[in-house]
Chain A
């Protein structure tokens, strides 16, 4: 076991020892390293002022991703390349093209959010680098600006799109790869600091063994939820086991007519395959938080934390997904819907971890749609989320699975509503009748996101929307995303 965190920064390997394992990357940068260009705006991964870029070794070279430094724990840097806003300028002090573009378009006012925007655009320039407005909106959804109204920032993004970055990071890529390769050969990380422990196993066996030793440990994947336990609830985590270095958990593949997603797969990584096989699931993933969060957060984490308003469980349950839970004693498979027992309680035994989720591919005539309802379209948490999976037999409903988030203490199926539909004609009359049954399925709560009445009414209306979209594929029923009304 190794007890120092090693990462690449500015073309060199840096080594840190004796660090608080739950110190955030942002606090390290600002208060330990005097790199104050990266800002704190919210400490919950929502505003993007803290955006930094992490580089990971892949078979195609280095993959750069924007993340929220405010909720990443410092040891999560281990084995990766760190790039902050201070690093972008050339050696002789010239602005990087993304920085220059922001100056040229008058994209700064108060400037506090600006470094975060620069870093999001930097990562995009080294990635897809699209000039499409919809792509730019997705890239920047996790960066809030209160001054400009975004127009000049979009203009800056467009002005640098479609051009390959000729910067120092591209120039020294092969050296950086070598450094990252060196780091990848390191043994597993095990930190101790002032009564706190942090482990980063590299295999599931190692992970299972650690969990047996430390059954009360906090399992950490993307830190997009656990990070907030520290920054918002000010909790002190004694033992943290980070699963982000277990390579096998980061695999995603098609096996036996199932899409199998390892628990450590990020939303970003799963996006393409979910889009390809379940179409609307891709649109849902697009609306899960922001690019920064999707780059860190995992689908496994979204399940394991048991939130009643997690975005992916309703879709996964509607699709009949299975969960594999593993411990040192072996694995067991359960239906995902059975995992959620009640609010705050899941079917997870001591020493077990979520290993993977398997989604049966749609049968030829299967129709799947899902809808996320929130106050703001992007980077918001659902007031409710509805997923519908329909199997028709001619004009009759052979089977339908409906699952909602935000309607109960867990993601939950609308069982009575389903019953009112199955076997009947798929028409408006049936839908109207089924809508009235939904009140028997759910008694949602009122909170700051929506009232009980709104949740119920909208849950019912989503069924109608689903009907409208399935009965008339040309019906325009959406304001945003794929298949939406066109504005320009």
Chain B
């Protein structure tokens, strides 16, 4: 890019200002490079991964000799060919890259074929002889509970005496519902491209949210030091949590191929293999019981969460913990017992997905609010409001963290008024009286989402900043770009600190040899932590420049001021680039690292006690739904959102996260249905069968705004708040609105037995169940 004229009045790309995503112009032109776009070297090998066709079986025999001998095959790798540790798990050591003597889900990798083309590799793989001895497979949560099949021990979070309080309560409600999983459906599937280097080293381009973990897993797998493996990711075509742990096996296979054959190797999963082989959002079965008074004020709650973790632990411990941490959402639940079963099933190992267990906890309590409201004949919003956390009392979470920054009441009040909630609710009831086939529903649900990794040590980040002698800057940090706008936000922070136009800051690919030992870009923490680390690096250089300028120009340090693209030194003002050049001539270091660790957080994992979160992000949404009572088809027709981003670093980027998160959440709860058959085969493994929202599913009326008064009460980066995950949970309002519409078909006498996602089939089934319930009630009355 040619040098543009430096801005004199205000730098381009200041923080809190809207500026386009750094890659936008390249993306629209097809010029942004994704890994599969990198020019293929002439001797590139293509890897196909052969998978288990059984959900649970012993491998009695694996004979790949015909595969090895097949046309166009350069190498075949099985578990026996692994030089180091045959594992690519994040924590527990239970994710073999290649199955050894046991397969535990349909799609599990057994061996890899490296061929001259992917077609030849795939064809050759079919020549393998694999003899299985099938074992009984546990596929569902209910089966796992019955068989006491758990991937991790059951955990319980308890405060107060919920059983006593339940007994004492004048009113009680119970409920049970099933909550489906979700495929990430990032548009770019998993991919790794590995180049062999001298000394047995390997350089890997990997579409991952966690380059460090890929590096460490590959090194362990190859039995080489971490320093022999370098992992780079410039951008992903979407991540959403699906590339937090899942990329490591594929990188390991590509690295093994490259180091063994001496040829570069690419492993790109096609859509079907990606959906079959890699983990998804945990599906749950949830039971709850609530005790409350005549106004709906809750005194006791018991939740039982049972999640389908799949064949291995992956991140299921932290994910299910986060479910527990969000089962309160915005509400003070004094006496509470939450039980969390982490079920082992013979299905793909479920993994991180935007919200990381939080949405599943939050929807449980929102479903409970809807149930209580129905049982009392009240507006669910009244039940929600009466149970909100207080500001100075009733403000301790079940895990003993004080909620210090509660703005849920203000956001809810503002949204209720702006969306005209009360009037619309009345109008909807009138509409339903006169509309025989179509029925409407409405709901307002809030969000409070804890920000920080609950695994405390992960809350650290590093950055590397070089200033070149022309004053241009190279920025690097441990965060990865998956479309969320992290790179532009961090570049804005650096531009602001040095008061240079943002295009003077070169955004560079995340690479393990620039910033080491990084955490995953996850938990919505990317901008918070990498922004701070980059700011610290920029400050270090700025301080060196100030110190130098003070000496060089013989002025006091406090007379030096960074103006847009210039520096005022005493009475003189010189371009930033000139000061930099002078500093260089005077042997000042122009490169710095920055390191940040999130303050205040501490947490005792054994007792679920402490402050796992630095702060909370808030929001609220009102959704309006309409259903067809003859077919169960349904549509979200309107949504109103107010969401808290603190003082937004970049409002356009944040609005993109809010809308995108909401629609993705709506998909989870409406059209996106994962169907496994009785043999454990995923039947919905491509967009022809797995339906994420498309353009017309976006509610026709979509009112969205960033909470005006938002400002982080903690010392976050420029007082902003994390925004990646929280808006996802605004979509819980869609499910509550559909529930309200379904309830109308019984004239609100029944609470719908409705599971998620609310596909046409589930909605129709729920309507039919209510008819049966009413009929049986009538029969009882008649008798």
Which A residues fall within an 8 A CB radius of B?
30-31, 34-44, 46-47, 49, 84-86, 88-89, 95, 98-100, 102-104, 106, 108-115, 118, 133, 136-138, 140-141, 143-154, 232, 234, 371, 373-381, 383, 447-451, 453-454, 457-458, 461-462, 464-465, 468, 475-480, 485, 487-488
Segment at the A interface, from B456-464, B469-477, B480-488, B537-545: B480-488
Residues of B within 8 A of A98 (CB): 28
Whole-angstrom CA separation of A376 from B272 in the bound complex:
20
Residues of A within 8 A of B134 (CB): none
Interface centre among B21, B630, B686, B698 (most CB of A within 10 A): B630
Additional 9 contacts, C-beta under 8 A, given A144-B687, A479-B438 = A40-B270, A112-B188, A112-B483, A113-B187, A145-B187, A150-B698, A378-B694, A454-B761, A458-B631
Given A147-B483, A487-B638, check contact A39 B438 (CB 8 Å).
no
CB distance from B694 to the nearest CB of A (A): 5
From the candidates A108, A118, A148, A462, name the one contacting B659 in the complex (CB within 8 A). A148
Residues of B within 8 A of A88 (CB): 29
Contact check, A108 vs B24: say whether CB atoms are below 8 A apart. yes
Contact check, B702 vs A151: say whether CB atoms are below 8 A apart. yes
CB distance from B26 to the nearest CB of A (A): 8
Contact check, B663 vs A149: say whether CB atoms are below 8 A apart. yes
Contact check, B695 vs A150: say whether CB atoms are below 8 A apart. yes
Contact check, A108 vs B30: say whether CB atoms are below 8 A apart. no
Residues of B within 8 A of A115 (CB): 27-30
Whole-angstrom CA separation of A278 from B696 in the bound complex:
24
Contact check, A46 vs B687: say whether CB atoms are below 8 A apart. yes
Residues of A within 8 A of B699 (CB): 487
Contact check, A146 vs B187: say whether CB atoms are below 8 A apart. yes
Given A110-B483, A461-B630, check contact A103 B24 (CB 8 Å).
yes
Residues of A within 8 A of B689 (CB): 381, 448-449
Residues of A within 8 A of B677 (CB): 448
Contact check, A147 vs B660: say whether CB atoms are below 8 A apart. yes
Given A39-B237, A47-B187, A110-B235, check contact A151 B20 (CB 8 Å).
no
Interface centre among A106, A383, A453 (most CB of B within 10 A): A106
Q: Mark B429-453, 1 if CB is under 8 A from A, else 0.
A: 0000001111000000000000000
Residues of A within 8 A of B687 (CB): 41-42, 44, 46-47, 144
Residues of A within 8 A of B28 (CB): 85, 95, 98-100, 102-103, 108, 114-115, 118
Given A103-B28, A376-B694, A476-B435, check contact A110 B188 (CB 8 Å).
yes
Given A99-B28, A103-B24, A234-B122, check contact A381 B671 (CB 8 Å).
no
Whole-angstrom CA separation of A211 from B702 in the bound complex:
54
Q: B residues 634-679 with Cβ under 8 Å of A?
A: 634-635, 637-638, 652-653, 655-656, 659-664, 671, 673, 675, 677
CB distance from A442 to the nearest CB of B (A): 17
CB distance from A283 to the nearest CB of B (A): 13
Does any Cβ of A come within 8 Å of B768's Cβ?
Answer: yes
Residues of A within 8 A of B25 (CB): 95, 99, 103
Contact check, A111 vs B631: say whether CB atoms are below 8 A apart. no
CB distance from A16 to the nearest CB of B (A): 19
Does any Cβ of A come within 8 Å of B271's Cβ?
Answer: yes
Whole-angstrom CA separation of A110 from B521 in the bound complex:
14
Segment at the A interface, from B32-40, B211-219, B525-533, B558-566: B32-40
CB distance from A10 to the nearest CB of B (A): 14
Q: Which 4 A-B pairs have the closest CB atoms?
A: A37-B30, A110-B483, A112-B237, A111-B27
Residues of B within 8 A of A479 (CB): 438, 626-628, 633-635
Contact check, B764 vs A151: say whether CB atoms are below 8 A apart. no
Q: How many contacts between A and B, using CB within 8 angstroms?
A: 275
Q: Mark B742-783, 1 if CB is under 8 A from A, else 0.
A: 000000000000000001110011001000000000000000
Contact check, A454 vs B764: say whether CB atoms are below 8 A apart. yes
Whole-angstrom CA separation of A90 from B239 in the bound complex:
33
Residues of B within 8 A of A38 (CB): 30
Contact check, A112 vs B34: say whether CB atoms are below 8 A apart. yes
Does any Cβ of A come within 8 Å of B513's Cβ?
Answer: no
CB distance from A381 to the nearest CB of B (A): 6
From the candidates B20, B637, B660, name the one contacting A149 in the complex (CB within 8 A). B660
Contact check, B696 vs A141: say whether CB atoms are below 8 A apart. yes
Given A39-B188, A106-B21, A468-B437, check contact A147 B238 (CB 8 Å).
yes
In the complex formed, the residue of A with least CB distance to B628 is A479
Contact check, B686 vs A44: say whether CB atoms are below 8 A apart. yes
Contact check, A46 vs B656: say whether CB atoms are below 8 A apart. no
Contact check, A476 vs B40: say whether CB atoms are below 8 A apart. no
Interface centre among B185, B484, B675, B696 (most CB of A within 10 A): B696
Does any Cβ of A come within 8 Å of B23's Cβ?
Answer: yes
Contact check, A461 vs B20: say whether CB atoms are below 8 A apart. no
Does any Cβ of A come within 8 Å of B240's Cβ?
Answer: yes
Residues of A within 8 A of B686 (CB): 42, 44, 46, 232
Pairs across A and B, CB under 8 Å, 7 listed? A43-B270, A106-B24, A110-B186, A138-B696, A141-B694, A146-B692, A454-B760
Contact check, A457 vs B768: say whether CB atoms are below 8 A apart. yes
Does any Cβ of A come within 8 Å of B700's Cβ?
Answer: yes
Interface centre among B683, B695, B765 (most CB of A within 10 A): B695
From the candidates B24, B240, B675, name the one contacting A146 in the complex (CB within 8 A). B240
In the complex formed, the residue of A with least CB distance to B184 is A146
CB distance from A86 to the nearest CB of B (A): 5
From the candidates B188, B271, B693, B700, name the one contacting A133 in the complex (CB within 8 A). B700
Does any Cβ of A come within 8 Å of B295's Cβ?
Answer: no
Does any Cβ of A come within 8 Å of B3's Cβ?
Answer: no
Residues of B within 8 A of A84 (CB): 30
Contact check, B29 vs A150: say whether CB atoms are below 8 A apart. no
Whole-angstrom CA separation of A72 from B336 in the bound complex:
58
Does any Cβ of A come within 8 Å of B617's Cβ?
Answer: no
Contact check, B632 vs A154: say whether CB atoms are below 8 A apart. no
From the candidates A39, A109, A118, A145, name the one contacting B485 in the complex (CB within 8 A). A109
Residues of A within 8 A of B691 (CB): 374-376, 380
Contact check, A465 vs B437: say whether CB atoms are below 8 A apart. yes
Contact check, B697 vs A376: say whether CB atoms are below 8 A apart. yes
Given A102-B28, A457-B768, A479-B635, check contact A377 B696 (CB 8 Å).
yes
Residues of A within 8 A of B637 (CB): 485, 487
Given A103-B24, A379-B694, check contact A373 B30 (CB 8 Å).
no
Contact check, A447 vs B683: say whether CB atoms are below 8 A apart. yes
CB distance from A343 to the nearest CB of B (A): 18
In the complex formed, the residue of B with least CB distance to A101 is B28
In the complex formed, the residue of A with least CB distance to B40 is A31
Does any Cβ of A come within 8 Å of B574's Cβ?
Answer: no
CB distance from B334 to the nearest CB of A (A): 37
Does any Cβ of A come within 8 Å of B509's Cβ?
Answer: no
